[in-house]
């Protein structure tokens, strides 16, 4: 099977798995549950649960336990999008060609649906205590998941991103851009790989390596985003090329130049691959998946 088809098949399997974890609609909070499920069903490639599953497979798999976490991390990712789209944040009416949650259900229900998804992510991940996985590992995985989604992870990145919008160009440092890339995007990629590894019994050295791989891939993904804004073409990107430059947006490329940006992506990618090869197991699909996140044209 070719890679693109394999990704598609795995995405569909994950969609089915997530569907099984969605809350049942009850009489009175029906509205918020409807909005939660609408948001989750918005799709995407389910890259985080996929990375989590494939990382667990690299260490021989983690049985049913990892499924709870695959659903939970997608709920966390989804809640962050629902709140990010709100009028007081990015104010987006469409996402992936579909009305955003607040555009359909109103701001109040969208705010509650985001809260509800984060809360339900905790409930779902904690459900893994019912699996036959070692309780110590489940506890460790839940803690990593929430640590990487909170103020020292994803929410920290979101905050820095919001705050940076109020800054003058000259106030935006390379350090700040790196922090945003690291926290806003890389944190959940790190969590995906670490949780997969933890549940499958990877040791401490391996978990640290997984964190580093996730970090490299997440940061390279974001730099690539900035590169494509300069070098991509309209058909592939689906948005005007050079829009960052036109908006005088400070990016990795505007700070470091295109050559260094490309070289850094290359180096981050190389290091991730080398680290992946230090692992005992072997999962060629995982390697391809990681590289596809970096080496992309759109």
Interface residues toward a second copy, by CB under 8 A: 23, 26, 28-29, 31-33, 36, 79, 83, 86-89, 106-109, 111-112, 114-116, 118-120, 122-123, 126, 129, 135-136, 138-139, 142-143, 146-147, 149-152, 155-160, 162-163, 176, 179-180, 183
Return the number of other C-beta atoms located less than 10 Å from residue 39's C-beta: 25
Contact 141, 199 (CB under 8 A): yes
Q: 47-61: b or e for each residue (b if 16 or more CB lie within 10 Å)?
A: bbbbbbbbbbbbbee
What is the distance between the alpha carbons of residues 240 and 247, in angstroms, rounded to a whole number?
12
Q: Minimum distance from CB of 40 to a second copy (Å)?
A: 13
Q: How far is the CB of 210 from a second copy (least distance, A)?
A: 20
Least Å from the CB of residue 69 to a second copy: 14
Beta-sheet strands, E only, within 3-118: 94-95, 98-99
CB of 227 to a second copy, least distance (A): 24
Comparison of 23 and 281: residue with beta carbon closer to a second copy: 23
Q: Which is nearer to a second copy, 21 or 269 (CB)?
A: 21
Helix 65-84 vs helix 107-126: crossing angle, to nearest 10: 160
Residue 118 vs 268, nearer CB to a second copy: 118
Residue with tokens 């989604």: 149
- Looking at the Cβ atoms of 73 and 228, the one nearer to a second copy is 73
Q: What is the 3-state secondary structure (H, E, C) of 104-158?
A: HHCHHHHHHHHHHHHHHHHHHHHHHHHCCCCHHHHHHHHHHHHHHHCCCCHHHHH
Least Cβ distance, residue 17 to a second copy (angstroms): 20
Q: Which is nearer to a second copy, 185 or 269 (CB)?
A: 185
Minimum CB–partner distance for residue 190 and a second copy (Å): 16
| Integer Cα distance of 236 and 133 in angstroms | 43
Closest to a second copy by CB, 41 or 135: 135
């Amino acid at each position: 099977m070719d890679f693109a088809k394999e990704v598609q098949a795995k995405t569909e399997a994950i969609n089915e798995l997530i569907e099984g974890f969605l809350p049942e609609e009850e009489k009175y909070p029906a509205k918020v549950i409807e909005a939660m499920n609408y948001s989750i069903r918005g799709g995407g490639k389910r890259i985080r649960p996929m990375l989590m599953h494939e990382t667990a497979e690299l260490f021989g798999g983690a049985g049913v336990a990892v499924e709870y976490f695959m659903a939970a991390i997608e709920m966390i990712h989804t809640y962050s999008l629902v709140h990010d789209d709100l009028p007081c944040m990015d104010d987006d009416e469409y996402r992936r060609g579909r009305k955003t949650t607040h555009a359909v259900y109103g701001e109040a229900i969208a705010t509650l649906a985001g809260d509800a998804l984060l809360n339900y992510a905790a409930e779902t991940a904690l459900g893994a205590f019912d699996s036959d996985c070692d309780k110590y590992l489940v506890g460790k995985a839940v803690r990593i998941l929430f640590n990487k989604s909170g103020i020292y992870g994803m929410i920290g990145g979101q905050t820095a991103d919001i705050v940076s919008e109020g800054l003058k160009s000259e106030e935006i440092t390379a350090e700040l851009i790196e922090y945003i890339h690291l926290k806003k995007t890389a944190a959940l990629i790190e969590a995906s790989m670490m949780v997969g590894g933890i549940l499958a019994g990877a040791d401490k050295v391996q978990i640290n390596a997984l964190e580093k791989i996730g970090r490299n891939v997440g940061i390279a993904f974001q730099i690539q985003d900035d590169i494509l804004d300069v070098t991509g073409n309209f058909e592939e990107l689906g948005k005007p090329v050079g829009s960052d430059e036109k908006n005088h947006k400070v990016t990795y490329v505007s700070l470091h130049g295109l050559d260094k940006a490309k070289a850094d992506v290359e180096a981050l990618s190389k290091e991730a691959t080398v680290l992946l090869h230090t692992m005992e197991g072997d999962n060629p699909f995982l390697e391809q998946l990681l590289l596809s996140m970096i080496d992309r044209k759109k």
